[in-house]
Amino acid sequence: MLVVALTGGIGSGKTTVSQLFEALGTPIVDTDIIARQLVAPGESALSKIVRQFGETILNPDGTLNRAQLRQTIFQSPDKKRLLESILHPLIRKEMMHQIAALTSPYCIVVIPLLVESGQMEFADRILVVDATEAAQLNRVSQRDNQAENEIAAIVASQASRDARLAVANDVIHNNSTLDELKQQVVTLHQKYLTITNSDE
């Protein structure tokens, strides 16, 4: 099975692109969803995070306060590495488990911080969703109601567009209409099916 890693900066449109692939019948393995499941109440990963970061990162109902945790690690590279050391091995294990269970010609694995984490070796192809920084800022401010300077800081902390594009086998440009985005997805879908057929 062909494994395509999908990545892109915040607000680039990764979720929309993965949903378009899913609508074409492509299985999606989303590491953000896996990460959310791993830190659900009662999960061992959440207990480990609380031990390291304290009860202040929990909401009153015992769920993880994501905004609080994000703020904590954003201010401290050491705490960011600590969180990654807890979560990344667990995310990767579950990701590989989900990939192994699939029987489709190809799958899309959504990894927002693929370039930053350097875990590219499992993928056969890397698909980058690219957008201008202005488009990213606009989408995230509408979606998350965050201040523009906060979003710009997140963009700056991620790999640059050039760094992502340098590792890309395929690129989807998301600076135009949804119809144009759909057309790019359909074209790549056919390309991936052609690749898998030629490998057989």
| 150 compared with 195, residue with greater pLDDT | 195
Kindly write down the DSSP assignment for every residue of 3-18, as one continuous string: EEEEE--TTS-HHHHH
Cα–Cα distance measured from residue 122 to residue 120, given in angstroms and rounded to the nearest whole number: 6
pLDDT digits (tens, 9 = 90+) for 2-26: 999 999 988 899 999 999 999 999 9
Phi and psi at residue 60, to the nearest 5°:
-55, -30
- For residues 136 and 1, the model is more confident at 1
Half-sphere CA count of 117, side-chain side, radius 13 A: 22
Higher-confidence residue of 103 and 156: namely 103
Taking only the tens place, the pLDDT of each residue in 128-150 is 999 988 887 788 777 776 677 77
Residue 155 pLDDT exceeds 70: yes
- Determine the pLDDT at residue 132: 87
**What is d(CA 94, CA 88) in angstroms, rounded to the nearest whole number?**
10
Q: Residue 179: its pLDDT value, please?
A: 96
Q: Percentage of the chain with pLDDT > 70?
A: 97
The mean per-residue pLDDT over the stretch 154-165 comes to 83
pTM: 0.88
Q: Which residue segments constitute the domains of the chain, with CATH numbers given?
A: 1-27+106-200 (3.40.50.300), 33-101 (no CATH)
Confidence of residue 70 (pLDDT cuts 50, 70, 90): confident
What is the average pLDDT score of the chain? 90
pLDDT of residue 199: 65
Hey, CA dihedral for 3, 190, 23, 127, is it positive or negative?
Answer: positive
Average pLDDT over residues 161-168: 91
Please compute the mean of the pLDDT values over residues 64-90 and round it to a whole number: 88
Cα–Cα distance list, 84 to 53, 89, 138 (Å): 13, 8, 28
- Nearest Cα to Cα of residue 38 among 2, 13, 66, 1: 66
The answer to whether 118 touches 111, Cβ cutoff 8 Å, is no
- Reported as a pLDDT band with limits 50, 70 and 90, residue 27 is very high
**Which residues have C-beta within 8 Å of that of residue 194, sequence separation ≥ 6?**
none
